[in-house]
Structure 1
Amino acid sequence: MEKVQQSNEACQRGDFQAAVHLYSDALQADPQNCILYSNRSAALLKLGHHQAALDDAEKACELNPKWPKVSDIVDLK
């Protein structure tokens, strides 16, 4: 949970590189968490890593097809 809080704070500061790293760490502990994939996708998008952002958005949709935050990213495909 600490990594999630730190990653959210990094996003709020605009430190998307740190956020991606922290979300990745959190995903190692909870690889079935669609919210973490969704949040990392948003951070990756801010960094201009479009394919990686799309990959994470698709994974979030796979884990939870009704998760609303990823539908905008996946629709860009």
Structure 2
Amino acid sequence: MPKREPMLRNAAEKLGLTVPEAAVLSSLGQTSLYKAIKEGRLRTRKYGTRTIITRADLASFLENLPDGIKQPER
């Protein structure tokens, strides 16, 4: 039986990601991603019962997160 490759290596080659794979690639937790999905901030696709996040949708979600630079108080 062949050895399983680490999830990150497998996910790096895929166009569609499961929530656990998207969590590994984004350095976010699965709970945070499920919350973003529920709030409509992270788009998913469905194929049967499988929930898929495209790499493009994950990248767009990450790009639209607020900047980490603290704004000066006025």
Taking structure 1 as the reference length, what is the TM-score of the superposition? 0.26
Q: Which has the higher helix share?
A: 1
Q: Which has the higher strand share?
A: 2
Q: Which has the higher contact order (CA 8 A, sep 6+)?
A: 2
Structure of higher CA gyration radius: 2
